[in-house]
């Protein structure tokens, strides 16, 4: 958990901050409190809790809720949607290693530019070596 956060960029971090009460979520998604809470029991969304046990949602949760809404309109049931996310998660995990490779590619490209031009500051060399 902490490991993922370390590699998250600021934009993603902000989107994952749970700062919205259910009332705001209702307005943003046009879903009823009943539906939003029900989807949670179905393990489709995982809002945080704060203060007096109040649910707090992040922008990512909003997107998730909107997606669920679409899947429902497409005829999916709770189980089906849960499976969709399970597969999406598995796929993301499978692509993780590939993403690291892409980062290395960009690093190598940047290095090429530095060697030929020498005009850009080399911030990359200050970063820890990545193991492949």
Where on the chain is the footprint of DNA (CB under 7 A)?
21-24, 26, 31-35, 37-38, 52-55, 72
CB of residue 50 to DNA, shortest distance in Å: 9
CB of residue 43 to DNA, shortest distance in Å: 14
Q: For 9-131, list the strands marked E by DSSP.
A: 20-21, 48-50, 54-57
Q: Are 45 and 36 in contact (CB under 8 A)?
A: yes
CB of residue 110 to DNA, shortest distance in Å: 46
Q: Identify which of residues 48 and 100 has a Cβ nearer to DNA in the complex.
A: 48
CB of residue 39 to DNA, shortest distance in Å: 8
Residues 77, 57: Cα–Cα separation, whole Å: 23
Q: Strand 20-21 relative to strand 54-57: parallel, antiparallel, unpaired?
A: antiparallel
Q: Identify which of residues 15 and 69 has a Cβ nearer to DNA in the complex.
A: 69
Q: Identify which of residues 28 and 114 has a Cβ nearer to DNA in the complex.
A: 28
Residues 116, 130: Cα–Cα separation, whole Å: 23
32 Cβ contact partners less than 8 Å away, ≥ 6 residues apart: 26
Residues 44, 40: Cα–Cα separation, whole Å: 6
Q: Identify which of residues 12 and 50 has a Cβ nearer to DNA in the complex.
A: 50
């Amino acid at each position: 958990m902490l490991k993922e956060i370390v590699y998250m960029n600021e934009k993603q971090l902000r989107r994952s901050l749970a700062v919205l009460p259910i009332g705001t979520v209702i307005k943003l998604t046009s879903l009823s409190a009943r539906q939003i809470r029900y989807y949670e029991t179905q393990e489709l969304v995982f809002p945080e809790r704060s203060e007096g046990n109040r649910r707090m949602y992040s922008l990512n949760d909003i997107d998730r809720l909107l997606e669920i809404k679409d899947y429902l309109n497409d005829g999916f049931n709770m189980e089906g949607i849960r499976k969709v996310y399970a597969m999406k998660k598995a796929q993301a995990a499978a692509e993780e290693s590939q993403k690291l490779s892409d980062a290395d590619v960009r690093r190598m490209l940047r290095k090429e530019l530095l060697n030929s031009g020498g005009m850009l500051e080399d911030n990359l060399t200050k970063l820890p070596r990545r193991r492949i």
